[in-house]
């Protein structure tokens, strides 16, 4: 290879219901990438067991549900590879090797582990600690060059770059000798001339795509919030979507005409942001139209927009969820295509490391 093939890789965990935040912050942004470069979208079931094993039936149902959401949102199995992580064993094998590349000190710095492990670190699973190494393996088993994710994953992508850099360096001579490297596209003193793994480019979603709870504008919209009114689920029908928008928390003032006027008004800011994201416009544009108006005028307009934009997708999502055979066929085909890319990569990696191949 004279240069790395551009390739997008991203994934979502199959835990609980997908909601508007997952859609606007992640999956909807992936759709246009499909026409620009090869894309792989994974349902990361092996990550979903790191914070405790979910109920087995629920885990397989949630895996199908995320697949249905990808498809209903416009990820086309004829353009993108869609599969569930556990079907391609190469992820696990590369993760083990990366466990031996990454340093304890690097993982000790991961803020997501600290948040998820909470006070009782001694009782967190080893898998939760090593999770970022598996994420690096997900990406690099395909020598992925571009990874679109939310800003909460930024630190994990930096770790992925550190792992790729260390591997490329530690095995630089061997990679060159075997003739399986790619000339470093951005020569730097930190890296050898020939690389095996690309230094992945993060494509981080800005704060504008952070969708907050409909009941509390200071909290992220979340599948674990006990109030269903706090989120719009990707399986909600038109009436439910409209009802949740009508019941969304607001403040008593009219909407401002300038974005600056949304400061210290988290609920107003969130609803204006949702309108802009659904409409493909900006908060400025929304306030040009609605500045000076009361929520009693803005909310019906937002409800109508949300129903128009989302209900075709949520209808399709509910239909697909019933069609397990179709979902499973898509995942099977995707797993075969994914394996066809990852298997030769792991063959190379074993050779680079010196694992003896006698079969």
In sequence order, which ranges of 206-323 are alpha helices (DSSP H)?
A: 238-247, 266-279, 283-290, 295-322
Phi and psi, residue 190, nearest 5°: -75, -20
Say which residues have a Cβ less than 8 Å from residue 252's Cβ, sequence separation at least 6: none
DSSP 289-304: HHTT--HHHHHHHHHH
Q: Does 269 bind ligand TRP (CB under 6 A)?
A: no
Paired strand residues for 83 = 42
The SS3 assignment for 233 reads: strand
In the complex with ligand TRP, which residue's Cβ is closer, 136 or 272? 136
- Exposure b/e, 307-322, CB count within 10 A at least 16 = b: bebbbebbebbeebbe
CA atoms within 13 A on the CB side of 203: 15
Q: Does 165 bind ligand TRP (CB under 6 A)?
A: no
In the complex with ligand TRP, which residue's Cβ is closer, 114 or 247? 114
Q: Does 10 bind ligand TRP (CB under 6 A)?
A: yes
In the complex with ligand TRP, which residue's Cβ is closer, 131 or 167? 131
Which of 4, 7, 8, 13 touches ligand TRP (CB under 6 A)? 13
Q: Does 8 bind ligand TRP (CB under 6 A)?
A: no
In the complex with ligand TRP, which residue's Cβ is closer, 46 or 235? 46
In the complex with ligand TRP, which residue's Cβ is closer, 141 or 241? 141
| Residue 17 to residues 56, 208, 257, 355, Cα–Cα distance (Å) | 16, 22, 35, 42
**Catalytic residue list contains 116:** yes
The least distance separating ligand TRP from the CB of residue 96, rounded to whole angstroms, comes to: 16
Q: Which two tokens stand for residue 294?
A: 């009361």
| Residue 345 to residues 53, 137, 173, 179, Cα–Cα distance (Å) | 30, 11, 18, 14
In the complex with ligand TRP, which residue's Cβ is closer, 7 or 156? 156
Pair 50, 71: CB distance under 8 Å = no
| Residue 121 to residues 51, 54, 132, 205, Cα–Cα distance (Å) | 12, 20, 16, 30
Which of 7, 11, 19, 212 touches ligand TRP (CB under 6 A)? 11
Phi and psi, residue 305, nearest 5°: -60, -45
**Catalytic residue list contains 219:** no
Which of 81, 149, 195, 310 touches ligand TRP (CB under 6 A)? 149
Of the candidates 79, 166, 176, 223, the residue annotated as catalytic is 223
Q: Does 139 bind ligand TRP (CB under 6 A)?
A: yes
Q: Of 21-80, which residues contact ligand TRP (CB under 6 A)?
A: 44, 47
**Catalytic residue list contains 121:** no
Of the candidates 79, 166, 176, 220, the residue annotated as catalytic is 220
The SS3 assignment for 3 reads: coil
Which of 62, 94, 95, 147 touches ligand TRP (CB under 6 A)? 147
Q: Pattern 183-222, binding to ligand TRP, x per CB under 6 A?
A: ----------------------------------------
Please choose, out of 102-110, 135-143, 244-252, 274-282, the segment that lies near ligand TRP by the rule CB under 6 A: 135-143
- Total residues contacting ligand TRP by CB under 6 A comes to 13
- Strand-strand pairing, 182-183 and 146-149: unpaired
Residue numbers of the site for ligand TRP (CB under 6 A)?
Answer: 9-11, 13, 44, 47, 135, 138-139, 147, 149, 153, 156
Catalytic amino acids?
116, 220, 223
């Amino acid at each position: 290879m004279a240069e790395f093939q551009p390739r997008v890789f991203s994934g979502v965990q199959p835990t609980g219901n997908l909601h508007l935040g997952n859609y606007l912050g992640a999956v909807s942004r992936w759709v246009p990438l499909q026409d620009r470069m090869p894309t792989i979208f994974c349902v990361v079931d092996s990550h979903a067991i790191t914070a405790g094993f979910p109920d087995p039936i629920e885990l397989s149902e949630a895996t199908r549900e995320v697949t249905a959401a990808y498809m209903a949102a416009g990820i086309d199995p004829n353009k993108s590879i869609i599969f569930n992580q556990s079907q391609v064993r190469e992820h696990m094998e590369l993760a083990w090797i990366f466990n031996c590349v990454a340093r304890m000190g690097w993982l000790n710095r991961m803020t997501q582990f600290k948040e998820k492990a909470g006070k009782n670190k001694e009782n967190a699973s080893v898998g939760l600690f090593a999770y970022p190494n598996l994420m690096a393996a997900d990406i690099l088993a395909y020598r992925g060059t571009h990874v679109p994710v939310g800003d909460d994953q930024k630190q994990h992508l930096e770790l992925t770059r550190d792992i790729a850099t260390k591997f490329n360096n530690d095995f630089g001579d061997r990679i060159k000798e075997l003739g399986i490297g790619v000339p470093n596209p951005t020569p730097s003193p930190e890296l050898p001339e020939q690389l095996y793994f690309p230094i992945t480019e993060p494509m981080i979603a800005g704060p504008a795509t952070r969708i907050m709870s409909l009941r509390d504008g200071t909290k992220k919209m979340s599948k674990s919030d006990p109030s269903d009114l706090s989120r719009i689920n990707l399986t909600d029908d038109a009436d439910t979507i409209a009802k949740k928008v009508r019941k969304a928390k607001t403040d008593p003032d009219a909407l401002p005409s300038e974005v600056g006027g949304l400061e210290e008004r988290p609920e107003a800011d969130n609803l204006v942001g949702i309108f802009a994201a659904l409409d493909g416009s900006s908060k400025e544009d929304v306030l040009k139209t609605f500045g000076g108006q009361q929520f009693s005028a803005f909310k019906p307009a937002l409800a109508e927009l949300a129903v128009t934009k989302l209900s075709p997708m949520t209808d399709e999502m509910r239909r697909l969820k019933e069609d397990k055979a179709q979902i499973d066929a898509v995942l099977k085909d995707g797993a075969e295509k994914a394996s066809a890319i990852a298997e030769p990569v792991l063959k190379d990696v074993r050779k680079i490391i010196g694992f003896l191949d006698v079969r």
